[in-house]
């Protein structure tokens, strides 16, 4: 992702984490809401098992992206020099 000698700026790390969270939360939340019939006129409303599935999706996204895929989507975009 980056050169070993050049550390990534803190603001890039924070921004990547925020953008990744927002992207997965709203994208995954809407997709899960659509599949489970929990889409409302205001967006989506997840309770119980669908909410747990979204939480699991968030955790898997960050763990898999960081450990196995060389970075999450926004880490890959923002960490390039």
Looking at residue 22, what is its pLDDT?
97
pLDDT tens column, 15-65: 999 999 999 999 999 999 999 998 989 989 999 999 999 999 999 999 999
Choose among 60, 61, 58, 35: nearest CA to 46. Answer: 35
pLDDT band at 5 (very low <50, low <70, confident <90, very high): low
| Residues 16, 23 contacting (CB under 8 angstroms) | no
Q: What is the pTM of this model?
A: 0.82
| Residues 21, 9 contacting (CB under 8 angstroms) | no
| Residues 46, 68 contacting (CB under 8 angstroms) | no
What secondary structure letter does DSSP report for 37?
T
Calculate mean pLDDT across residues 63-69: 93
């Amino acid at each position: 992702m980056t050169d070993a000698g050049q550390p990534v700026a803190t603001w890039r790390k924070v921004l990547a984490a925020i953008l990744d969270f927002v992207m997965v939360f709203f994208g995954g939340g809407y997709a899960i809401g659509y599949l489970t019939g929990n889409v409302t006129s205001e967006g989506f409303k997840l309770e119980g098992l669908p909410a747990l599935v979204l939480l699991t999706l968030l955790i898997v996204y960050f763990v898999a992206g960081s450990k196995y895929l060389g970075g999450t989507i926004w880490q890959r975009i923002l960490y390039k020099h």
